[in-house]
Structure 1
Amino acid sequence: MSIYFNEINRRSDKMKIKRNDRFIFLMSLLLTFSFILLAVYIIVEEFGHIESVYEKDLYNIANIIADDEVVIEKIKSGDNSLDTYVDKYYENVEDLSLIIILDMNNIRYAHPNDVELGNECDQIEVSDIYNGEPYIGSYVDENNVKSIRAFVPIYDGDTQIGVASTGILQGDVNALKLSKTTTILLAFGFGLIVSLVSLTWLLNRFKSELLGFAPTEIALLYAENKSVIEQLNEAVISVDDNYKITTLNKKAKKMFDLSDSIIGKDAEKVISFIDFKTIIDGNEYVVNKYRKINDDKLLMNAFPLYLEDKIIGATAVFRSHLEVDSLVDQITGYQQMSVALRSQKHEFQNKLHVVLGLIKMKDYEKAENYIMENVYKTNLASDYYTSRLKDDRILALFIGKEIQSKQFNAQLLLTSDSYLTKVHNPINSDDIVIVLGNLIDNSFEAYVNKDMENKRIVVDIFEDEEKIKITVIDQAGGVDPEVINNMFERGVSTKNGDSRGTGLSLVGEIVNVYSGEKTVQSSEKETKIEIILMKVNL
């Protein structure tokens, strides 16, 4: 273990200021937290002040309009030409969005939209405005437009003859809040930066009093690191820049049948299944790659180790695919069920709205027929899928995708000859989910921006003792011939746009893991992708 201690000595300069850095960090964190609390408090107060000022101004303008003799006379005479007259009030309140004047029959005498003059508006459902009670606050009109509104009754003597309403759109209020927030945050951000720089400068002046670690503290740090590595559920193997083994945890010893006797030895001679030389000399990273070692499929990650800008070694981490699959089984399965349930929820809500509408129209017979028709269709579709897809996760995925297809105005079909068993050893269900899900998504994307009828996606799944064959056919047009040869490589996509080229690359990797085949047939009208995953010769 001397090499490990040598590494600690090489890092000692950094470790000596550990306590000082921690103190600076805690002080900076406290200062930052204080600034954030103060900024939040001021922003909240400013928001309240903005709304309070607007409400006060709106109420005052509405009162002035309600007391205006011209307004009163116009309402009494039934003359709804007040729109031009009230324009002068828009100058008294900044960002004033609307002035509306109504009589007791809800007829508009003034409105921002001239077309609405003389028309009847919906009942104003705030407070008791028609009983002489004013209202100030948030309001949502019949067009679902949010605003801050003031409603004031208009009197002719002791008789209420109408309502004066002034308002500011909530969007304008939010824009002002955003502007104020930006100004406050910039000011506090600048103040925080100046404070942090000053704090760091002051604390660094006392660095000499905080430097130094006792040997026991270094030993404690080493023991902590070793304990963490030993308790990991992954196999960890590390080498130095001379390719000598420095770290080998108990999981690695058990997984590869190794012992501490190889510590300090040349990695190329005792663990040749890891190419540490390429990782260190080529500065290469291995990310989530399956490797077959000693007849076991392992998930491998490997990366160079750096001290400042210099490579000082490399580490490889392995995990059994059985453990990974177990975790994915818990996550992916639930995710697919969740997708299906969310999709079904939206569809069910739409159908409930139809039933509600029929009931409100008192057309009970049509409502009953509609319910029975949908129950029959649902049972028919459910029986069709469950009789062919015995794997619950694949079934959930397909149901979710079938409902999702409606968002693309497409029809997702499963052939009557399709059949998939509940268990597919050694093929993992989650790998089938990835393959099928990405192929269907690829077809969905192919139909985007395509103005065409009969958008169909046909899926065929076949399983026997030797293989699983998945075929997906769409009629969205062909794939560029230059793309077909490498469309399963990372970064290559059959679509345009950012963040593409990942889904099909995962499909390609899974095909390679199961020694399978992938075939693409494309014409001007149709694209057919066929994936074969082998159960034998793995």
Structure 2
Amino acid sequence: MVACEGNRVSKTTTRPRFATRTLLLHLGTVALVVALCTGVYLALAVQQLRAEAESTALGIARTLAEDPQVRAEVARISSLQETPEAEVLRNGELQRIASDVSDRTGALFVVIADSDGIRLAHPTSSRIGQMVSTPFEEVLAGNEVVDWQTGTLGESARAKVPVRDEAGVPVGEVSVGFERTGVFDDLPPLLAVIGATAAGAVCLAIIAFLLLRRRWERLTLGVQPEELVALVQNQTAVLNGVDDGVLAVDIAGVVRVSNDAVDRMLGLESPVGHRLAELGLPPAVVETATGGRTTSTAVVGGRVLYFDSRPVIRDGRPLGDVLIIRDRTDLIALTERLETVRAVTTALRVQRHEFANRMHVVAGLIDAARIDDARGFLDELVERGSVAFPVAGLELLSDPFLHSFLGAKGIEAGERGVALRIADETQLIGSVAEPEDVAAVLGNLVDNAVKAAASGERIPRWVEVAVLGDGDALVVTVADSGPGLAGIDPMAPRTPGEDDHDHVHGHGLGIPLARDIARRRGGDLWIIDAGGGEHGAVLAARIGRAVSDTPTTEEKQ
């Protein structure tokens, strides 16, 4: 069982640690390989010793069989009709020669036999004159025989070579053998060397594994593989179970963790293993992800994203940074809509207050029996409306929503010393069908223009709005008396903390969000004139599917 506590993992199982199990497996594998290699090497060594013994025996037998004295003596004895006497053979020249060769070479035996297989020389003198104990027919046929055989002196590596007369006819044999124990006298030292080598190999394997384990634990920060499995499972469950994006970058700027939310928000595809600078992300994202900033905001793919970066440090060692990405598009859009509602509510409150004041005036005129004055006042009220918004040309707007909305904006602008007016070319047939989107786009443009006019040095300060209908699309243009854009792109979002004097024209999030709303409805938002002469900036927006053909109440009348 593996349990996670914060960023620590505790293992409650009684099984040996992975390092111990790996060490045992490692040692077992090394021991098996060493045993196999030792067995193969030992088999080759034994085979080599056998081959050397056989080769030595064959060489001695050949030399002895070619000796002229041996050939002549064996040929003479083989030509006799009767069997030679054993006593004569024991003291004969062949026994002396065989004994000398055996003493010089350390052979187990040197045996000389005639054509009938009678021993003419033998290490055991009592066996001279008797038949040999191993087959000799093949040798008398003229063939050399090298083999391991068991005779009267035990098992030995022996070589049998025919002894030929002057005519080259086999007339006997020479048999030379080496004792088995003598052949393998060199085997114990060889085994000692092999054992020492095997022990050294095992020791090297242990040392190599200890170094490998140390390197492994340093790379994994001491976390065992069982714990890594739990971490991966928990990471997958946590990262893909939240709506926020999580992007982890190591100290080299390589992406190591990226959940589904990050891929969706930033439009990435399998970014893990790639350098952050190679992914084509906005500079604000790259700078925040690598620890250059702690927080920032950017518009990516039409979404307003908030970035929060935190460094990751373990045991005093920096590992990189984790970037938390939150989608604030819906929140900002809701804020814009609430701002619209607040503006309309303020306008309604002003209307109610103004209407109540006028009703008091009418009531006072009636109480004073000034009926004609009261009727004239009511006629003027019907003609002008319930409240007089400080917006020149507002009567050009027949749509009640735009009338109230821009009237409320006019009141707010007036509080800042800016006059809001409606352009003479304003003409809208129909009514607004999507007031929320229209308020978000038009409200941003008007608010930015009011801020620009209020911060400008031109007197008087003004903002002019033109509203036109284009089929089912609403086209608005907003101009102001401010200082203009001064070469700054209003579509680029302003980084929080910067105090740019021209951020009123869109260095926040309002303009990019308004443009995104307009584009989603088949329109766009653009700059007509950057300003700088007699007027400030002029911006325009086209909002598709925002106008309905249904006439307003005033149009019906």
TM-score, normalization: structure 2? 0.40
TM-score, normalization: structure 1? 0.42
Larger-gyration structure (1/2): 2
